[in-house]
Amino acid sequence: MSKLAGKKIVLAVTGSIAAYKSALLVRLLVKEGAEVRVLMTRSASDFISALTLSTLSGNKVFSDLVDQKENSWNSHVELGLWADVMLVAPASANTIAKFAGGICDNIITAVYLSARCPVVIAPAMDEDMWRHPATQSNITRLKSFGNQIIPVGEGELASGLVGQGRMAEPEEILEYLIKHVAVSSPASQKKNQKKKLSGKRALVTAGPTYEAIDPVRFIGNHSSGKMGIAIAEELAEQGASVTLVLGPTSLAPDHAGVITQRVTSAQEMFDAATQLFAKADIAVLSAAVADFTPEKAASEKIKKGSEDRLNLSLVKTKDILATLGESKRNGQILVGFALETRDELKNARKKLRKKNLDFIVLNSLKDAGAGFRHDTNHITIIDRNEKVFPYELKSKQEVAADIVNFIIQKLS
């Protein structure tokens, strides 16, 4: 049996030559059934690439508090609350000193300060640094905070010297975690046992996409992402590990079990969703993805000039839901939405079949209180057998609970 099945581990990798061992460590943890999210400091990326760690963990790697590319905030509080254990391996002398002093200047120190789970630290440094009274007093201080220290090994060091300070081998770290750490606290284990989706991984897409025309203009839509955010929160409430791929909206989820990956365009949403789907048990695609995108975004702002017309050439975006439907495995639940203005049931049924869904959630823009920018929604669910389940007008939170209950029934 996988000894870490369903456990959520934040692995923090700091700048040490031993960072190359993190790749094997991630593999071992994943093989034992853990879900691993990797954080790395900038100096760690001198020793191992984020691409290697994201490929092995199946999740995006976080290196900064602010994602400059997406213009978004990587919430350290969410990660700190999500994890059953925070493993810092390798932990450099510098990071250990920062932990001891409560310094918060990167994503790892921020997550450390907000973590409510056990923290396990595997130091790695040269012998002289390890033996220095400053490091030793920092280690004593970390122990007094309740952090667990995996003993360093003895042997050849990166400096060429032989002595103490080597990071424990990945196999030893794995063994330590299995043996010593109550990977989830007894309270959270008890809480999770009752939850119907614990151990399940879910992917949700939500919000609009923006398709760039030039550096200042885009084609977008009125979606706020509210419905998808409510679904992501409800799935997490039922114990699932949720990744929400969220288009540009000012709203954000407020649940520790939801990790948000921000995207802007349909292509970015496609890339994120197709990568995450391989490991997902449940996928709910509620995003209002642009169906067309400018053939080529202008690199400079388009000037008005003297023409009375501007023709934009648009090309079709990739259909994310249909692509996931093509690669769906047995046991995976795939849910889509249909927003229709006429022939609602007929069109929804067509989409259900064409995109190989388990069920489709139909919204009609004709219904009062349904669709974009409302706090309520009026849905009809159509399942694979084309059975129709009508629901009343409800708040988006209540609708999310209905949809998640439907998923739970389909899984059982």
For ligand CTP, the binding residues (CB under 6 A) are 205, 266, 285-287, 289, 291, 317, 319-321, 336-339, 351
Residue of minimal Cβ distance to ligand CTP: 320
List the structure tokens of 40: 């790395």
Q: What is d(CA 288, CA 371) in angstroms, rounded to the nearest whole number?
A: 11
Name the residue nearer to ligand CTP (CB basis): 29 or 338: 338
Q: How far is the CB of 403 from ligand CTP (least distance, A)?
A: 12
Q: Of the candidates 87, 158, 172, which has an alpha carbon nearest to the alpha carbon of residue 128? A: 158
Q: How far is CA 2 from CA 16, 29, 228, in A?
A: 30, 10, 32
Q: How far is the CB of 259 from ligand CTP (least distance, A)?
A: 19
- Listed in sequence order, the residues at least 6 apart from 140 whose beta carbon sits closer than 8 Å to its beta carbon are none
Give residue 268's Cα distance to chain centre.
14
For 237-259, b/e burial (b = at least 16 CB within 10 A) is: bbbbbbbbbbbbbeebbebbbbb
Q: What is d(CA 281, CA 334) in angstroms, rounded to the nearest whole number?
A: 9
Name the residue nearer to ligand CTP (CB basis): 197 or 289: 289
Name the residue nearer to ligand CTP (CB basis): 29 or 235: 235
Q: Which of 59, 94, 192, 221 is catalytic?
A: 221
Q: Which parts of 3-156 fold into alpha helices (H)?
A: 22-31, 50-57, 76-82, 93-101, 107-114, 127-131, 133-144
Q: How far is the CB of 411 from ligand CTP (least distance, A)?
A: 19
Does residue 99 sit in helix, strand or coil?
helix
For 338-354, b/e burial (b = at least 16 CB within 10 A) is: bbbeeebeebbbebbee
Q: How far is the CB of 26 from ligand CTP (least distance, A)?
A: 29
Name the residue nearer to ligand CTP (CB basis): 23 or 287: 287
Name the residue nearer to ligand CTP (CB basis): 86 or 335: 335
End-to-end Cα spacing for the chain: 22
Q: How far is CA 67 from CA 74, 174, 209, 270, 297, in A?
A: 7, 30, 18, 19, 22
> Are 188 and 102 within 8 A, CB to CB?
no
Name the residue nearer to ligand CTP (CB basis): 239 or 371: 371
> Are 283 and 334 within 8 A, CB to CB?
yes
Name the residue nearer to ligand CTP (CB basis): 73 or 292: 292
Residue 102, phi-psi category: left (phi > 0), alpha (psi -120 to 50), beta (remainder): left
Q: Of the candidates 400, 391, 395, 360, which has an alpha carbon nearest to the alpha carbon of residue 374? A: 395
Q: How far is the CB of 275 from ligand CTP (least distance, A)?
A: 14
Question: CB burial class (10 A; 0-12, 13-18, 19+) of residue 305?
Answer: exposed
Q: How far is the CB of 393 from ligand CTP (least distance, A)?
A: 20
Active site residue 221: yes
Q: How far is the CB of 364 from ligand CTP (least distance, A)?
A: 11
Q: How far is the CB of 289 from ligand CTP (least distance, A)?
A: 4
Catalytic residues: 221
